[in-house]
Amino acid sequence: MSEDHQSVWGASRFARPGDGWADVGRGLAEVAAAVSDHHHGAPLPSGDPVAVLGGVTALLGPHGIPETGIGETEALTRLARLVAEFGLDLTHPMAAAHLQPAPLSVAVAADALASATNASLDTYDSGPATLALETWTVQSLARMAGFGEHAGGVFSPGGSISNLLALMIARDHTAARRGVDVRHDGVGALHRPVVFCSRVAHFSVHRACAALGLGESAVIPVDVDSHHRMIPEALEAAIRESGPATPLAIVATAGTTDFGTVDPLGEIADIAERHEIWMHVDAAYGFGSLFSDRLAGLLAGVERADSITLDLHKVGWQPAAASLMLLSDADRFVSLNRSVAYLNPDDDVEAGYSGLLGQTLQTTRRPDVLKVATTLLAYGRRTLGEMLDKCNDLALYAEQRVATELQLELVAPVTLTTVVFRYRCTDLDAVNGELRRRLIADGKALIGRTQVRIPGEDEPQTCLKLTLLNPETSESDIDELFDELLRVALEVESEGTAAPGAETHSEEMVRVSE
Ligand SMILES: *Cc1c(COP(=O)(O)O)cnc(C)c1O
């Protein structure tokens, strides 16, 4: 193999159209082989964080960029080994912690294509094909949401950023209607701007308000019912009590992160309409319900929103990031528009050479759309809906299992694919927290946790959570997971809940670095 001016494992250093891809293919084959050789066969590597992270550093060597490279094959296989040995495996049936699914192979392949083209979306000449593809995909998803022909939207790096983008546009739109130019004058020109959302809305709403210069105190939390859904009468009262404030938006959640529950979208839309307030629906988790005939009804009313956040790296089985922010009226992107001499000069735009620079806070933007469009074409709505139905079935099965175990208590009924429960014992918070850490340290099961305000109890309590997004998981896998959980719970309860001592740390370190 010639090493001189040639790639170590091929003829080209770049993924050129044609032959360069053969090198990419060989590289992927090397990665696949290294992953199989070193795979730990569990959802997580065993060991505590010090040992696991120490293992990674040991494979990399001391900090510092090598003066001479180790070559492509060695670099790829070492990193693949590192990820296989010390990373997580989301395809494992006992990986059930977060809204973080194993991605579809077809989407991973298409994502490599996105990397290889390195196209952007800001200008026509930064990537014409992906520009048209994004428009096609945005319009297709907007149609599924029930939006009309004026709809628009844009891909973003995640649901948190989609929420930020939507709230920024809501802020600017609301201000403009009151004759205030926030873009120029800043938020100081607005009288006490506020945003309404339920008490269990995602924290990114608060963070967006901080980023937008409104402060987190701009968020007015609205009470929820026993199913963790916003109470419309409480929203109405909160708006009334906010007095002379400037309401920028009502954020309804369609699929709360913990419970999958959906705020009453139709009733909230009525209130938003009556008070002329922007309605944003955070459907980061729940949007995928629209793929399913069985679950689509949960989102009735979403078509009345002004903006929607959706994450296809959750229900959609995409590698992150695959998030979108949809607008019912694309004209409202106006405040994000910019004219930049070296990107989109007016005469180019007039001649049709325009891009999507004016719809986002980014400039260079990765074509995440490629994997999404490939997946939608490959499987269609029906298969994606069936995948979600299967995950919903698994959650319902898990719910039943919780109900039959005396030691377990169901905390909330299943709506989508999460199951929230806890292990009954005297020292609830400590035992449930330690139980999850123990499962993680053993590497055998990866489950989630959260805090829930349970009726009749003063303080929010630590609960356990399964987020089931793997349609290949079986009912017997679920049973095995609960068997393991109950076994470890007994162990933790009988030991008391003292944190593992420092000796355990150093023993693990020695074992892993050997
Ligand atoms: C996951 C989630 C988000 C944040 O999305 P990211 O893609 O993780 O940034 C926002 N809202 C809800 C309801 C979510 O579940």
Q: How far is the CA of 494 from the centre of ligand 1 (A)?
A: 37
Q: What is the pLDDT of residues 64-84, one digit of tens each?
A: 999 999 999 999 999 999 999
**430-454 mean pLDDT:** 95
Residue 478: pLDDT band by 50, 70, 90 thresholds?
very high
Q: How far is the CA of 431 from the centre of ligand 1 (A)?
A: 28
- Ligand 1 atom nearest to CA at 99: 1
Q: Which CATH number fits domain 113-377: 3.40.109.10, 3.40.640.10, 3.30.160.100, 3.30.450.20?
A: 3.40.640.10
258 within ligand 1 shell (Cβ under 6 A): no
* C-beta pairs of 499-504 under 8 Å, 24+ apart in sequence: 499/434, 500/48, 500/441, 504/48
Q: How far is the CA of 259 from the centre of ligand 1 (A)?
A: 13
**2-14 mean pLDDT:** 59
253 within ligand 1 shell (Cβ under 6 A): yes
- Ligand 1 atom nearest to CA at 283: 13
% of residues, the chain, pLDDT over 90: 88
228 within ligand 1 shell (Cβ under 6 A): no
Residue 499 has pLDDT above 70, yes or no: no
**168-185 mean pLDDT:** 95
Q: Report pLDDT for 11.
A: 65
417 within ligand 1 shell (Cβ under 6 A): no
Residue 514: pLDDT band by 50, 70, 90 thresholds?
very low
Residue 2 has pLDDT above 70, yes or no: no
Residue 506 has pLDDT above 60, yes or no: no
Q: Report pLDDT for 21.
A: 86
C-alpha span between 311 and 126 (Å, rounded): 25
Q: Report pLDDT for 497.
A: 56
Q: Report pLDDT for 17.
A: 82
**256-271 mean pLDDT:** 98
Residue 121 has pLDDT above 50, yes or no: yes
**285-314 mean pLDDT:** 98
Using CA positions, which residue lies closest to atom 15 of ligand 1? 257
The encoded tokens of residue 58 equal 């040991």
What pairing do the DSSP bridges indicate for beta strands 95-96 and 408-412? unpaired
**327-356 mean pLDDT:** 93
Q: How far is the CA of 255 from the centre of ligand 1 (A)?
A: 10
151 within ligand 1 shell (Cβ under 6 A): no
Residue 508: pLDDT band by 50, 70, 90 thresholds?
very low
**98-108 mean pLDDT:** 97
Check: CB of residue 420 under 8 Å from CB of residue 462: no
Q: How far is the CA of 72 from the centre of ligand 1 (A)?
A: 36
Q: Report pLDDT for 246.
A: 96
The encoded tokens of residue 457 equal 């109890």
C-alpha span between 466 and 411 (Å, rounded): 12
Ligand 1 pocket: which of 204, 280, 318, 417 to mutate (most atoms within 8 A of CB): 204
Residue 500 has pLDDT above 70, yes or no: no
482 within ligand 1 shell (Cβ under 6 A): no
**476-493 mean pLDDT:** 97
Task: List Cα–Cα distances, 481 to 18, 488, 489, in angstroms.
Answer: 46, 11, 12
Q: What is the DSSP string of 200-234?
A: TS-THHHHHHHHTTS-GGGEEEE-B-TTS-B-HHH
315 within ligand 1 shell (Cβ under 6 A): no
Residue 505: pLDDT band by 50, 70, 90 thresholds?
very low
Ligand 1 pocket: which of 98, 197, 257 to mutate (most atoms within 8 A of CB): 257
Q: Report pLDDT for 50.
A: 96
Instruction: Tell which wins on pLDDT, 495 or 208.
Output: 208
- Ligand 1 atom nearest to CA at 313: 7
Residue 297 has pLDDT above 70, yes or no: yes
323 within ligand 1 shell (Cβ under 6 A): yes
Instruction: Tell which wins on pLDDT, 416 or 23.
Output: 416
**366-371 mean pLDDT:** 98
Task: For the chain, give the mean pLDDT.
Answer: 93
Q: How far is the CA of 406 from the centre of ligand 1 (A)?
A: 33
Q: How far is the CA of 245 from the centre of ligand 1 (A)?
A: 28
Q: What is the pLDDT of residues 132-141, one digit of tens each?
A: 999 999 999 9
Q: Which of 307, 475, 319, 514 is nearest to 390 (CA)?
A: 475
The number of angstroms, rounded, from the C-alpha of 332 to the middle of its chain's C-alpha atoms is 25
Q: What is the pTM of this model?
A: 0.94
* Domain 382-513 fold: Aspartate Aminotransferase, domain 1 (3.90.1150)
Check: CB of residue 385 under 8 Å from CB of residue 148: no
Residue 480 has pLDDT above 60, yes or no: yes
Residue 136: phi, psi to the nearest 5?
A: -60, -45
Find where tokens 């000449």 sit: 125
Q: How far is the CA of 202 from the centre of ligand 1 (A)?
A: 7
| 3-class DSSP assignment, residue 327 | strand
C-alpha span between 262 and 259 (Å, rounded): 9
Check: CB of residue 288 under 8 Å from CB of residue 101: no
Check: CB of residue 190 under 8 Å from CB of residue 246: yes
Task: List Cα–Cα distances, 11 to 2, 179, 479, in angstroms.
Answer: 9, 61, 51
Residue 203 has pLDDT above 50, yes or no: yes
Q: What is the DSSP string of 160-176?
A: HHHHHHHHHHHHHHHHH
Using CA positions, which residue lies closest to atom 6 of ligand 1? 159
Q: Report pLDDT for 204.
A: 98
The encoded tokens of residue 285 equal 């988790």
Residue 455 has pLDDT above 90, yes or no: no
The number of angstroms, rounded, from the C-alpha of 318 to the middle of its chain's C-alpha atoms is 10
Q: Report pLDDT for 5.
A: 46
Instruction: Tell which wins on pLDDT, 507 or 388.
Output: 388
